[in-house]
Amino acid sequence: MNANIKKVEYAVRGPIVQRAVQIEKELKEGVKKPFNEVIKANIGDAHAMGQRPVTFFRQVLALCSYPELLDDDKFPEDTKYRAQRILKACGGSSIGAYTASQGIECVRQDVSRYIERRDGGVPCDPDNIYLTTGASDGIVTMLKLLTAGEGRTRTGVMIPIPQYPLYSAAIAELGAVQLNYYLDEDKCWGLDISELQRSLQAASKHCNPRVLCIINPGNPTGQVQSRERIEDVIRFAAKERLFLMADEVYQDNVYAEGCKFYSFKKVLYEMGPEYFNTVELASFHSTSKCYMGECGMRGGYMEVINMDSEVKAQLTKLVSVRLCPPVPGQALMALVTNSPQPGEPSHAQFLKERTATLGDLAQKAKLTEEILNTVPGIRCNPVQGAMYSFPQITLPERAIREAKEKGQAPDMFYCMKLLEETGICLVPGSGFGQKEGTYHFRMTILPPADKLKILLSKVKEFHQRFTKCYS
């Protein structure tokens, strides 16, 4: 078998999650546990945590699935209009037909108008938009296109540490070289250009660094990059001729006061033509996060700018081999980027639902940070954005020794004990990467507020018990 696949690791669905699924089965079978349910705070899966789908989206999807409903008075006119527009763009007016491999043209137009609005008028060409099967698919496709070589000429891909493990998994699978740059936990997981420089210099002897990945807002670290920092990154990428991959799937998930989402595209544009016409950039978005939380639909897009036209032709060919992204996900992306406008019948309810979800998340971000910081031995940066807290935990020496004797990462040992004793499923920091000698876990802020409070107080109790037990 393929040796690269053996090297792939994916903590978000790793051994701890497998054990959680097993425990759920045991509970169902009546096995006695010190808890009644498993709470999965390991993955950003909003609907599974009780968030309701946006009514407008689901009405249009129902209409697209079963167009006989277009005669039904229950559906507002704007849902019918959207459904008819999508159906008209599908072969045989069916979402069961293949679409263009790059995605339905009118959906790519919706996406490009959305990007233009988001970025205050920066132009966006629908030909630069590729619809994808979730953001993961886009990221893997782009890495596949950009990585090459053997031995010392292998492509180096710079990724943040801590990182979302899709990156390390894809790099391992492709046989490329993972180049770590560390985010500064003491500066709220800030990005420091001198650290990028260090990482690049250390790498250039043994590989060919060509790609720089940024996750903003940060996953698992929840920080939101400032405009100045994004400018620094762009200057760095321009100077070092790196292809920028901007993972911007949490672009609506910004909670902290004073923080704002700036897209790499917008900043690039505003830095002037010497940057906007030269720096190669791919930006990724998804229907899975923000206020939508539609993970199961596997919708997403990427915008690709300044890519060499021959390479772009290769990208277009590459995506054609998979025929097309799932059409329900494409349709959903059309709705996200062309949502109800003032004056349309669905507007009020849409706005209410979106505002409630984002407001709720902002509150839970604050709550999580506050409660975790009351625990001696847990230190949590502000959750400025995205959907996760990534606190540092202090582990007693004896626990670290015992974990190592078991061949486990100390924070895996901790999270496994937490799961067995409380039913709470978190992901150990070692699955994302962290500075040697530090320990963390990633926890989503998605459970409903009352459940989140219980979860946090259970984590608190557990941490105190664990610390006492191993001190």
Site for a second copy in 15-44 (CB under 8 A): 21, 43
Would you say 266 or 298 has its CB closer to a second copy?
A: 298
Would you say 198 or 322 has its CB closer to a second copy?
A: 322
Tokens for 397, please give them. 């020496």
Residue 82 phi/psi, 5-degree rounding, is -60, -45
Would you say 15 or 396 has its CB closer to a second copy?
A: 15
Would you say 142 or 230 has its CB closer to a second copy?
A: 142
The least CB distance from residue 328 to a second copy, in Å, is: 5
Residue 434 phi/psi, 5-degree rounding, is -160, 165
Token pair 């004990």 in the structure block, residue: 417
Of 107, 77, 110, 109, give the one whose Cα is nearest residue 344: 77
Among 16, 59, 285, 393, binds a second copy (CB under 8 A): 59
Site for a second copy in 73-92 (CB under 8 A): 74, 90-92
The least CB distance from residue 454 to a second copy, in Å, is: 18
Among 123, 152, 187, 323, binds a second copy (CB under 8 A): 323
Would you say 3 or 31 has its CB closer to a second copy?
A: 3
Would you say 94 or 394 has its CB closer to a second copy?
A: 94
Would you say 101 or 197 has its CB closer to a second copy?
A: 101
d(CA 287, CA 389): 21
Would you say 73 or 436 has its CB closer to a second copy?
A: 73
Site for a second copy in 324-353 (CB under 8 A): 324-329
The least CB distance from residue 228 to a second copy, in Å, is: 32
The least CB distance from residue 268 to a second copy, in Å, is: 21
d(CA 366, CA 383): 7
What is the bridge-based pairing of β-strands 39-40 and 424-425? Answer: parallel
Token pair 């053997």 in the structure block, residue: 150
Element (H, E) at 3: helix 3-7
Site for a second copy in 143-202 (CB under 8 A): 144-148, 166, 169-170, 173
Instruction: Say whether residue 430 binds a second copy (CB under 8 A).
Output: no
Of 248, 221, 222, give the one whose Cα is nearest residue 233: 248
Handedness of CA 104, 301, 208, 7 (dihedral sign): negative
The least CB distance from residue 240 to a second copy, in Å, is: 18
Among 22, 26, 66, 184, binds a second copy (CB under 8 A): 66
Among 78, 110, 119, 137, binds a second copy (CB under 8 A): 137
Which region among 211-219, 291-299, 387-395, 417-425 touches a second copy (by CB under 8 A)?
291-299
Would you say 305 or 372 has its CB closer to a second copy?
A: 305
The least CB distance from residue 174 to a second copy, in Å, is: 8
The least CB distance from residue 241 to a second copy, in Å, is: 14
Ranges of H-type helices in 280-437:
309-320, 327-337, 347-373, 397-405, 410-422
Tokens for 448, please give them. 């409903």
Report in angstroms the alpha-carbon separations of 463 from 171, 287, 376, 468.
34, 35, 9, 8
Site for a second copy in 293-322 (CB under 8 A): 293-298, 311, 314, 317-318, 320-322
Among 133, 225, 368, 389, binds a second copy (CB under 8 A): 133
What long-range pairs does 3-10 form, CB within 8 A, spacing at least 24?
A: 4/172, 4/173, 4/174, 4/175, 5/173, 7/172, 7/173, 8/169, 8/172, 8/173, 9/165, 9/168, 9/169, 9/172, 9/431, 10/165, 10/166, 10/169
The least CB distance from residue 113 to a second copy, in Å, is: 20
Site for a second copy in 214-243 (CB under 8 A): none
The least CB distance from residue 378 to a second copy, in Å, is: 27
Element (H, E) at 448: none
Q: Is 319 exposed, middle or buried (0-12, 13-18, 19+ CB in 10 A)?
A: buried
Site for a second copy in 389-428 (CB under 8 A): none
Would you say 391 or 447 has its CB closer to a second copy?
A: 447
Would you say 8 or 106 has its CB closer to a second copy?
A: 8
Of 281, 1, 8, give the one whose Cα is nearest residue 171: 8
Cβ 283 vs Cβ 248: under 8 Å: yes
The least CB distance from residue 231 to a second copy, in Å, is: 27
Site for a second copy in 85-124 (CB under 8 A): 90-92, 94-101
Tokens for 76, please give them. 């507002």
How many residues bind a second copy (CB under 8 A)? The answer is 75
